[in-house]
Chain A
Amino acid sequence: MHSKFIFVLVLLLLAPLTNADQTVISKADPVLEERVMALSEHLRCLVCQNQTIADSNAELAVDLKNQVRDKLRQGESEQEILDYMVKRYGEFVLFKPLVKSTTWLLWFGPLLLLVLGLGVLIINLRQRRKLMQQAPALSAEEHVRAASILSGKRGEEHS
């Protein structure tokens, strides 16, 4: 029983080694590799949509990275490769959305909300200040009553 447990434990420890080949990339050309990774940061992995293909080890992401590497090696520019990807997968493949009329709300929506919020806050504060100023001052008699209420002798109120 005990040895079986240890055996399973050893297997579990070895498990990460089995898919080690997924992350192995050619380190032959560090400059190229750096460009591949830099460009990969801009491309969305469509299988795991909230990751870039640089972060993902999904099979499609690895293939796309290879594609990026091949194209860079063939002398294509970064922009040409992005255009190629957009043509095939649509603008959604760009991790950072383009700024254009259909994405204005996305880009500037938070700013709009901030401005609206500040506006509401300022209006509210002004109104409150006005109300405070308009409130009539207490008479001497009222001051005495207020003091007595605050000191806890509530009985005197009705006397």
Chain B
Amino acid sequence: MNRFFLPLGIFVILVIFLWVGLKLNPREVPSPLINKIAPTFRLPQLHDAEKTIGPEDLRGKVWLLNVWASWCVTCRQEHPLLVELGRQNLVPIYGLNYKDDRENGLAWLKKLDDPYVLSAYDREGNIGIDWGVYGVPETFVIDKAGLIRHKFIGALTPELIQNKLIPLVKELNGA
């Protein structure tokens, strides 16, 4: 009996491991910045190079930081969802225009609509590295105290927004 059950048992365990492994996404590296204070920066605004923006300006409110670029195809796919979310006035969305050309970024927003209260302009991508950005788009949820509470890697989907993002924002706002 042992002759059959031992290999069979090992096989079943192997299948369970592989099955779980299939559902994991190695591309999603959990951010160590979750529940840490958001890395600070002081960047020129996309629309007005004279003015700057930094996380300190937004203390006391819950906000989103969406990392985007005009060269990013997935951002284009995600964009209508952000526009829709922006219209709902649930949470202010700020943009981090990542390694982009100012002209291209502005033209992109003009053409596809601008869901952002403001976009910060990160020409060199250094702030992106500071925030642990490795794939665009990424969306951070920052709470009133300035802590990063969640990071969405890759494009947001209607399900993610409905089931995760909006409930989280409501919770952080104490509603």
Question: A residues within 8 Å of B by Cβ?
Answer: 46-47, 49, 59-60, 63-64, 67, 86-92
Contact = CB atoms under 8 A, between A and B. Distances in A.
Interface stretch (B15-23, B28-36, B80-88, B156-164): B28-36
Contacts of A63: 99, 124-126, 128-129
B54 interface: no
Q: Is the interface of A mostly helix, strand, loop or mixed?
A: helix
Given A87-B32, A90-B30, A90-B31, 6 more contacts: A49-B26, A49-B27, A63-B124, A63-B126, A87-B33, A89-B132
Given A63-B125, A67-B126, A88 B26 contact: no
Interface residues of B, number: 19
B116 interface: no
A86 B29 contact: no
Given A47-B134, A63-B125, A63-B129, A90 B32 contact: yes
B108 interface: no
A88 B126 contact: no
Interface of B: 26-27, 29-33, 39, 99, 124-126, 128-132, 134-135
B29 A90 contact: yes
A58 B26 CA distance: 18
A88 B39 CA distance: 9
A91 B30 CA distance: 10
A88 B130 contact: yes
A88 B29 contact: no
A151 to B, nearest CB: 35
